[in-house]
Structure 1
Amino acid sequence: MTYLVAIPGVISVLALLSAYTFNRSVIRKAQGTDRMKELQGYIRSGAFTFMLEEARVMAITMVVIGILLWVLFYWEVAVAFWLGSLLSMAAGFIGMNAATHANARTTQGARKSFKEALTVAFSGGSVMG
C-alpha cells in the first residue's frame, strides 16, 4: 500500500515533462515579422508587470494567512500553505511565459494555415493543462 504514495509524484513528473515538451514545441516555431516581435514584447512586458504586482499582493496575503494558520493550527499547516501558494505562483508565471511566447507564433502560424495556428495555440495552452 505504501507504493501508492509514489503515484502522485510520478504523475507530477510526467505532467512537468509534457508541459516542457509543449513549451519547447512552441518556442521552436517562427516568431513572425519584426512588428509581431515588437508587439509580443509589449504584451510580455505588460503581462509580467501585472504578474509581479499580483505576486507582491499575494506574498503579503501569504504571510498574514500563514501566520494565522501557524498560530491557530500547527506549523506544518502554515508551511504546506506557503509551499502550495509558491507553487501556484510558479505555475502562473510558467503559464504566462508560455502564453506570451505563443501569441505571435500563433499569428505567424495563421499566415501559413489554420491548422498551424491551432497547433501552436493548443501547444501553448497545454503548458498549463
Structure 2
Amino acid sequence: MESIPYLALVSALAALALASYFFSTVKAAPAGNDRMVFLMTEIQKGAKAFLRQEYTWVSFFVIAMVILLAIIIAPLASVSYIIGAILSASAGYIGMTVATMANARTTEAAKEGPAKALPVAYRGGAVMGFS
C-alpha cells in the first residue's frame, strides 16, 4: 500500500512521456499545402478563442468552489482543487491545440491511404488522453 503514491507518480510521468512522443510524431508529419495550413491556423484561432471564453466562465465556478472548500472543508483542499483545475485546463488546451494540428496532418497523410492517416489521427487524439 505504501507504493501506491509512487505508482501513481510513475504512471503520470509515463503518460506525459507518451503524450510528448505522440506530439512529436504528429508535429513531424507533413502539414500539407498552403491552403491546408491556412485552414488549420484559422481553426486553431477559433478553438483558442472558444477555450479562452470557456475558461473565463469556468473560472467563476472554480473561484466559488475554492472559497467553499476553504470554508467548509479545509484550506488545503482548496489548494488541491486549484491545482487540479489548472492541470485540467492545461490538458484541455494542449489537447485542443494538438487535435487541431493533427487535422491537416491527417488529411495530408490520407492522400496516401487510411493506413498512413490512422496513426496520425490516433496519436493526435491520444495526446489529450495522456496529458
State TM-score, norm by structure 2.
0.94
- Residue 61 of structure 2 corresponds to which residue in structure 1? 61
Rounded to whole Å, the distance in 2 between the matches of 1:119 and 1:7 is 29
Quote the offset at 1:82 in angstroms.
1.0
Percent identity, aligned pairs only, is: 36
The aligned residue for residue 109 of structure 1 is 109
Alignment of 1:29-48 (within 5 A): 29-48=29-48
Q: Within 5 Å, which residues of 2 pair with 1:1-129?
A: 1-129=1-129
Aligned residue pair count: 129
Please report the TM-score for the alignment, with normalisation by the length of structure 1. Answer: 0.96
Indicate the RMSD between aligned Cα atoms, in angstroms.
0.9
| CA deviation vs aligned residue, 1:2-34 (integer Å, no higher than 9, x gap) | 333211000000000000000100000000011
Paired residue type of 2:94: I
Task: Single out whichever of 56-65 and 25-34 deviates more from structure 2.
Answer: 56-65
Gaps of 5+ in 2: none
Deviates most, 22-31 or 64-73: 64-73
The whole-number CA distance in structure 2 between the counterparts of 1:91 and 1:111 is: 30
Structure 2 counterpart of 1:19, one-letter code: A
